[in-house]
Amino acid sequence: MTKPYYPYSQYLKEKFGCKVYKVTLDAGFTCPNRDGVKGKGGCTFCDQTGSSSRAQDRRDSITEQIHKNIERQRKRFGAEKFIAYFQSFTNTYSPVERLKSLYDEAMAAHPDIIGMSISTRPDCVDEEILALIASYQTPDNYICVEYGMQTIHDRTLDLLNRCETHHEFLEAFELTQKYNLDHCIHVILDLPGESWEDQMETADVLAKLKVNGVKIHLLCAMEKTPLAEQYLRGEWQPLDKENYVQLICDFMERLHPETVIHRVAGNGHHQHVVAPLWLQRKMEIMNEIDAEFDRRGTRQGDKCRFMGENSARTEETAGVF
């Protein structure tokens, strides 16, 4: 059945013609928002593993992690090809020589690795790093950079202890376009203090930029995080499922129809989620999103305000709202 949005699984199938899965890696990075360079304690929602690949043992080499993970994904999903996914913490936060050595190892680790996806903070890339990442792009190698943007609103980023600004995201995005790198932008819905209109503004900026991909998260409390403590003290309540379904449909209606949706539900580490627990019922949520689009008679992009425009220059976009 055709989805009312453009799912990542469809994008991969169209691109590679076979079942492709990401294999998550923990390369032992840290984050400037944890080691004191930009902040301490991390973002309020980030757990001790850097929002990440808990399944991995960071004592294993990249090659060992890739081999173990490929075996698992083959058995579980019948996956045929694999993308090495540098997921934990900030995967560009090291000298370029070390980055090169880790990325080289990942690309050479297994014959069924067809590329890399590298997750990072927008303020942790520069010309040299993106040039290195772009150097792995060939007709046979797929390379993607994933940025944790979360929201376009700086006041929310402050509340999250993010220690970066939306302007820094726009600068990283412009450089990423310069190197013609595929990209996926992470956003979080139901962030503290954000109205429906605030969240729709974030969707509109992503539509205006015509970003390649978006991974949509709902704010959730993982164990041992400041957010979980707030929840246990009764200071924060997660959104309920019905309202989330409404909100994410509203959000996707405003995105560009060609933007790939990397995720709409679930969390890779469900055993460590404190709240909301319903978030783990991934299939049920996905079915309810489909049903809601069906009830509305709409799909992704139906309320996009920027149809027909090319990917905009970021300084123009910054002044739109």
Four-residue CA torsion sign, 124, 127, 129, 134: positive
CB of 156 to ligand SF4, least distance (A): 13
| Residue 293 found at the interface with ligand SF4 (CB under 6 A) | no
CA distance 248 to 200: 10
User: Would you say 125 and 172 are in contact if contact means Cβ atoms under 8 Å apart?
Assistant: yes
301 binds ligand SF4 (CB under 6 A): no
Distance CA 28, CA 42 (A): 16
Q: List beta partners, residue 261.
A: 7, 214
Q: In what order do the strands lie in the sheet with 142-150?
A: 20-25, 81-86, 113-120, 142-150, 182-189, 213-218, 260-263
42 lies in the site for ligand SF4, by CB under 6 A: yes
Among residues 86 and 244, whose Cβ is nearest to ligand SF4? 86
Q: For residues 29 and 231, which CB has a smaller minimum distance to ligand SF4 in the complex?
A: 29
Q: What SS3 state is found at 230?
A: helix
Shortest CB 165 distance to ligand SF4, Å: 13
Q: How far is CA 293 from CA 147, 179, 253, 286, 296, in A?
A: 27, 35, 9, 11, 5
The 219-258 contact track toward ligand SF4, x by CB under 6 A, reads ----------------------------------------
Among 65, 73, 87, 90, binds ligand SF4 (CB under 6 A): 90
Is residue 148 a contact point for ligand SF4 (CB under 6 A)?
A: yes
Is 150 a binder of ligand SF4 (CB under 6 A)?
no
Residue with tokens 């808990």: 54
Which tokens sit at 300?
């992704």
- Shortest Å distance, C-beta 248 to ligand SF4: 21
Of the CA atoms within 13 Å of residue 175, those in its CB half-sphere come to 21
| Cα distance between residue 10 and residue 7, in whole Å | 5
Q: Where are the beta strands (DSSP E) in 107-252?
A: 113-120, 142-150, 182-189, 213-218, 221-222
Binding to ligand SF4 by residue 33, rule CB under 6 A? yes
3-state secondary structure of 91: coil
Least CB distance to ligand SF4 at residue 222 (A): 10
Report in angstroms how near the CB of residue 191 gets to ligand SF4 at its nearest.
Answer: 13
Residue 185 contacts ligand SF4 per CB under 6 A? no
CB count in 10 Å sphere of residue 168: 20
In this chain, which of 23, 25, 31, 113 binds ligand SF4, going by CB under 6 A? 31
| Choice from 20, 43, 221, 247 touching ligand SF4 (CB under 6 A) | 43
Among 54, 81, 121, 153, binds ligand SF4 (CB under 6 A): 121
Min dist. Cβ of residue 70 to ligand SF4 (A): 25
Residue matched to tokens 């579980």: 76
By CB under 6 A, which span of 44-52, 103-111, 220-228, 278-286 interacts with ligand SF4? 44-52
Q: Rule CB under 6 A: say whether 91 interacts with ligand SF4.
A: no
24 near ligand SF4, rule: CB under 6 A: no
Nearer to ligand SF4, 121 or 254 (CB): 121
- Name the residues that contact ligand SF4, by CB under 6 A: 31, 33-34, 42-43, 46, 50-51, 89-90, 121, 148
